């Protein structure tokens, strides 16, 4: 090998012999535009980052903070406990209890088909319903609200990721069907829908609180952030209703509807000293805690919402007005003839001929003719003013939804025959609740009193508005005692040990402009007559077991409810039971008129 070739080989075999400064590649000059371009790119990148930083941290910082917080910070609702509804003795009629509610973050639910089917069975859902709820696009979904503890335990045992449980409040109604139309119910959002729950929604609801927390990706609370706003629980509502009287009234009207094969029935019990509603019961009813397949027939609070022509229950008011204006006394004779009276092209009839009878017997025998003749002695205006004074044609002033006014036309539109028929309860309409309140006029010596669903704080009698003189009201009360006694129209309304008085009523039901062969039967009475404490009103709708007169259908319910209520109130008996039984055996009942 030559000397030149050896030196070349040494240069190639050792990197140390390379001279980079003399490399042709490195020795070539870089074009100026290329370096400027690279510097420009770097500058633009920094400018973009700077612009983005200003956009995020200065211009839209609030938006991006919220977006960030939404991914880790959560506001938990601290639900307020809804107030309780209590009866007059403190017995709970409605209360809230904490129950589990199950929810999910759909995108975090990681389960195979078998696990999902198991979850659907535990929740009582179909597979299709569960899949619809677990839509991955949803951030939050309720799977089952207000569940029972058994369902919650089954879901927890499955142990699926992304499924969570919280506690919410659910209403419980210990008295069930008996008090359903009084307390009403709430919806899934715990808002009142019927009854007292609706009437006092604002007072019962309270105000929810809140708690801000940080949650990890598994939904667990890591820490609290910010201040906790405590929940303000709702106020309790203390009703005038006595749960024992309410339950007994419900049982008796339920049994009466069954015995008479009737469509429905209602009972109202008023304390005439305080104006408190001790019971308001209807049948059919419903369980407010389980409202599946609930019908409108069950929901109707018939004592307040159903109006009807009050029939013979109006006759005592006509007699009272006649005596109040000096046109008659209790002993003034009225000629009722042979039981048929032609008037203004129509015929007014009684169930039998009574002949010439005093005013007191017009009420005792329930004479339509006698009532009409008394009414036609007075101007229509006087009758209208009296009807208005006792609350007819006006919505009851009571803290309760659904109460309606009934019908009372202006007196200037009355024809003479209409004035006559109104005297025995046809041509106007009222609810059972309105009738019960109207009869406080006789129980309170001529005063009509305000009524209340709420417990009243005082024990002395509530002031009323005078309609009749005290002596007139007491005389009518004696007439009512005769009407409910031996020889009257409702001897079955008698109560062992107590003097009672009242008036039965029976009316054809009107459908459209014509009357049918369907009836409503009712009885409204006062007890004890010597010193009245309660008014009880009973209505049975469409009895079809062969008996439909109010004294025979509604009278026994009045007797049972009155006896139980007076005993619960501690009212002492005012009659000797033995003599009362003997008197009842001596006299046969008289059929009543419509």
Strands 333-335 and 356-358: antiparallel
**Tokens in use for 279?**
């019971």
Contact of 493 with 559, CB cutoff 8 Å: yes
Q: What are phi and psi of 460, to 5 degrees?
A: -80, 160
Asked, as a colleague might, if the bond just before 284 is cis with ω within 30 of 0, I would say yes
**Tokens in use for 220?**
């667990």
Active site residue 349: no
The catalytically annotated residue of 96, 285, 312, 499 is: 312
Q: Of 487, 504, 392, which Cα lies nearest the Cα of 438?
A: 392
- Three-class DSSP category at 349: strand
Contact of 557 with 538, CB cutoff 8 Å: yes
33: left (phi over 0), alpha (psi -120 to 50) or beta: alpha
Q: Of 98, 105, 45, which Cα lies nearest the Cα of 70?
A: 105
Q: Is 139 exposed, middle or buried (0-12, 13-18, 19+ CB in 10 A)?
A: exposed
Contact of 481 with 500, CB cutoff 8 Å: yes
Residues in a beta bridge with 430: 308
Residue 584 CA: distances (Å) to CA of 218, 276, 280, 487, 578: 79, 32, 30, 9, 10
Q: Of 267, 261, 371, which Cα lies nearest the Cα of 593?
A: 371
Q: Of 216, 175, 222, 224, which Cα lies nearest the Cα of 196?
A: 175
Contact of 196 with 182, CB cutoff 8 Å: yes
Contact of 424 with 247, CB cutoff 8 Å: no
The helix (run of H) or strand (run of E) holding residue 132 is: helix 127-133
Contact of 540 with 578, CB cutoff 8 Å: no
Active site residues: 312
């Amino acid at each position: 090998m030559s000397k030149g070739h050896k030196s070349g080989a040494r240069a190639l075999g050792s990197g140390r012999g390379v001279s980079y400064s003399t490399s042709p590649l490195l020795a070539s000059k870089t074009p100026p535009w290329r370096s400027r371009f690279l510097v420009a790119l770097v500058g633009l990148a920094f400018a973009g980052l700077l612009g983005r930083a200003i956009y995020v941290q200065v211009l839209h910082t609030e938006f991006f903070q919220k977006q960030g917080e939404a991914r880790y910070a959560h506001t938990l609702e601290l639900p307020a406990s809804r107030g309780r509804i209590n009866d007059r003795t403190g017995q709970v009629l409605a209360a809230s209890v904490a129950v589990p509610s199950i929810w999910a973050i759909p995108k975090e639910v990681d389960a195979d088909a078998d696990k999902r089917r198991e979850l659907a069975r535990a929740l009582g859902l179909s597979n299709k319903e569960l899949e619809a709820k677990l839509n991955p696009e949803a951030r939050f979904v309720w799977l089952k609200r207000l569940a029972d503890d058994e369902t919650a335990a089954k879901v927890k045992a499955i142990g699926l990721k992304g499924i969570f449980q919280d506690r919410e409040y659910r209403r419980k109604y210990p008295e069930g069907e008996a008090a359903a139309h009084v307390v009403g119910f709430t919806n899934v959002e715990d808002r009142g829908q019927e009854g007292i729950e609706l009437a006092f929604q604002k007072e019962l609801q309270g105000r929810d609180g809140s708690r801000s927390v940080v949650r990890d990706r598994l939904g667990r609370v890591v820490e609290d952030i910010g201040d906790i706003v405590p929940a303000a629980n709702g106020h309790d509502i203390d009703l005038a209703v006595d749960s024992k009287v309410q339950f007994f009234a419900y049982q008796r009207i339920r049994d009466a509807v069954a015995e008479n094969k009737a469509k429905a029935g209602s009972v109202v019990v008023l304390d005439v000293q305080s104006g408190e509603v001790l019971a308001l019961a209807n049948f059919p009813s419903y369980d407010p805690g389980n409202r599946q397949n609930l019908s409108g027939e069950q929901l109707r609070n018939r004592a307040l919402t159903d109006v009807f022509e009050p029939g013979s229950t109006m006759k005592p008011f006509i007699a009272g007005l006649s005596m109040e204006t000096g046109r008659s006394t209790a002993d003034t004779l009225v000629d009722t003839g042979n039981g048929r009276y032609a008037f203004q092209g129509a015929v007014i009839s009684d169930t039998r001929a009574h002949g010439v009878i005093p005013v007191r017997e017009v009420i005792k025998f329930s004479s339509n003719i006698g009532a009409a003749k008394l009414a036609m002695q007075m101007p229509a205006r006087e009758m209208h003013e009296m009807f208005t004074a006792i609350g007819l044609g006006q919505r009851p002033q009571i803290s309760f939804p659904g109460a309606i006014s009934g019908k009372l036309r202006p007196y200037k539109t009355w024809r003479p025959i209409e004035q006559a028929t109104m005297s025995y309860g046809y041509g106007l309409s009222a609810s059972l609740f309105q009738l019960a309140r109207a009869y406080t006029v006789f129980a309170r010596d001529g005063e009509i009193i305000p009524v209340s669903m709420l417990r009243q704080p005082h024990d002395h009698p509530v002031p009323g508005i005078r309609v009749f003189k005290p002596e007139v009201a007491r005389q009518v009360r004696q007439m009512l005692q005769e009407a409910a006694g031996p020889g009257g129209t409702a001897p079955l309304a008698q109560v062992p040990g107590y003097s009672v008085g009242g008036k039965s009523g029976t009316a054809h039901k009107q459908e459209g402009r014509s009357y049918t062969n369907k009836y409503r039967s009712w009885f409204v009475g006062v007890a004890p007559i010597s010193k009245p404490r309660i008014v009880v009103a009973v209505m049975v709708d469409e009895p079809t077991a062969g008996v439909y007169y109010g004294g025979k259908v509604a009278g026994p319910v009045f007797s049972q409810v009155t006896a139980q209520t007076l005993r619960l109130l501690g009212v002492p008996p005012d009659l000797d039971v033995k003599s009362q039984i003997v008197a009842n055996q001596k006299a046969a009942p008289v059929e009543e008129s419509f």
